[in-house]
A and B are shown apart, each in its own frame.
Chain A
């Protein structure tokens, strides 16, 4: 029963595109206008765009090499030579932050894609079929909500060896529960609607109904969850790196820079402060965008 959906070549991304193709130009424009009118959302979009640009082209902007040590210039304060100062090996902190953007965003995007795809699948199956399948999936989500996620991550990463791959896989595997719940509640509403019944009566298969009717109409809140989720994943990854279980040295990661920086806290405050500000601004950008999307998609705006 469930395999019919999984067998199908299944890309939720493409159905988002399909949504915009299908819906009228007017509502699309209304959505864009509502989003762009929201000043906070636009600021968020700018932050996210800059961060993505930095993640892609950071090495081209970077004034120094990220891992080259320079004992003479260790723990230099921010100034004209080193914009944000240097670390205990004399490496340029600004450069390492630029390289760190690539790691953080890559991990966050891949992990979030895994969660969203998994969550959508689980939610569709759970909501559509109900019964014991629904029970099993809902108990799984209960378990994921009750599991202290950081502990799970620590255990997982220590089995898989800390690396980029093990981090995004583990973050992806524990992050799908809220998407699944949201998708399920959407399916429960949508499957009672006349056009879904009509499609059923016309002989559409379940995967067809899911892709053409249920997914496009139920995806909006999932997109909001996903953009807010990226923010959560970046924070989680930085927490893991802070505990020494993230991307391994000498590769620069924002969380591990804070972890090392705190040893030099009283005489080199910039070392731990700037990576923290970078994480905060990035996460803030995704939160702004997520909030903006939610408000723009919300049919019942306050006031």
Chain B
């Protein structure tokens, strides 16, 4: 298993390099001038020599290859550099925002699991009943709503007494109070909940027809024991994989959710960074984002092999 993990981590290096290179090339090609963006009005009062000196200092006047190799070399040594605009180290920006994005992602995941698994199970146990039909349709509706629109609806009906009930704050982080997390997590988790419902249902139905369930039933085990020990335990294996695969999607979703709920996460840092061509911030956030997704995928695969002994590391 150590060998397997080692190989998977080695495989991440080319993947990360591809992501890094594509993003760097795109960031280089992007319009926008970080110096102008950071100076604002003052930019027009400076003479060209001073601006050239600033470009020199940031290394923006070097040829593409030199800039690329310099960035790559520094990143490889875990030095993400300083933001061109905010005069702050990228590590500090990420250190502040990453935990907040992760917090939101965990919130969304909890919502998704709490809704998805029980509804999937009930739906499969009552296959073809009206409950099952409504779950199937509702899950597809959950998959079909734009995240940002759900956010607006939630804000309209659940945050102000004028148009609904004032149950939750409209937006913001509120020093990490739990109540501020509820709506963003609900909105972020809906899509994933729908996916988990569908997988749980399909997997429950698939396991139901298998021989070991019949064996357990004919041994005279109680229905409850068969359901929990044999049926559920096996049916939830594919759910683990899907949850792992969806972490990337959850990250994209959190970008939009952060925009709507004014949540101080990575998503709200990367959009302005792109607008001002703040390359160190863009690269730093993407490297971290990609690393998280890759590691979660690895952990998922490992978990998968641990809970399902039929799977071997190879």
Contacts and interface: CB of A to CB of B under 8 A. Distances in A.
Nearest to B29: A159
A284 interface: yes
B148 A158 contact: no
A151 B255 contact: yes
Contacts of B137: 40
B206 interface: yes
B30 A139 contact: no
A270 B27 CA distance: 38
B126 to A, nearest CB: 13
A265 B282 contact: no
Contact of A154 (B206, B274, B294): B274
Contact of A146 (B27, B202, B248): B248
Given A145-B293, A265-B152, A279-B146, A150 B256 contact: yes
B294 A146 contact: yes
B146 A276 contact: yes
A39 B116 CA distance: 24
B23 interface: yes
Contacts of A266: 156, 160, 162-163
A4 to B, nearest CB: 26
Contacts of A283: 143-145
A243 interface: yes
A148 B18 contact: no
Interface in A233-267: 235, 238-239, 242-243, 255, 258, 262, 265-266
Interface in A141-189: 142-143, 145-152, 154-156, 158-159
A87 B143 CA distance: 28
B156 A146 contact: no
A148 B286 contact: yes
A287 interface: yes
B160 A146 contact: no
Contacts of A284: 140-141, 144
A151 B14 CA distance: 20
A146 B270 contact: no
B26 A156 contact: yes
A32 interface: no
A152 to B, nearest CB: 8
A281 B29 CA distance: 37
- State the main secondary structure of chain A at its contact with B: helix
**What's the interface size class on B, roughly?**
35 or more
Contacts of B144: 231, 235, 279-281, 283-284, 287
Interface in B153-203: 153, 155-156, 160, 162-163, 202
A210 B233 CA distance: 41
Nearest to B296: A146
A258 B163 contact: no
Contacts of A281: 144
A159 B248 contact: no
A146 B146 contact: no
A96 B84 CA distance: 41
A158 B19 contact: no
A293 B26 CA distance: 38
Contacts of A128: none
B255 A147 contact: no
Given A142-B15, A269-B163, A302 B156 contact: no
A287 B140 contact: yes
Interface in A55-84: none
Contacts of A280: 141, 144-146, 149
Interface of B: 11, 14-16, 18-19, 22-23, 26-27, 29-32, 127, 136-137, 140-141, 143-149, 152-153, 155-156, 160, 162-163, 202, 205-206, 209, 245, 248, 251-252, 255-256, 259, 270-271, 274-275, 282, 285-286, 289-290, 293-294, 297
18 contacts: A139-B11, A151-B252, A151-B270, A151-B289, A155-B23, A158-B275, A159-B26, A231-B143, A239-B256, A243-B259, A243-B271, A255-B146, A262-B152, A265-B152, A279-B149, A280-B144, A280-B145, A291-B140
Interface of A: 40, 139-140, 142-143, 145-152, 154-156, 158-159, 231, 235, 238-239, 242-243, 255, 258, 262, 265-266, 269, 272-273, 275-276, 279-281, 283-284, 287-288, 291, 302-303
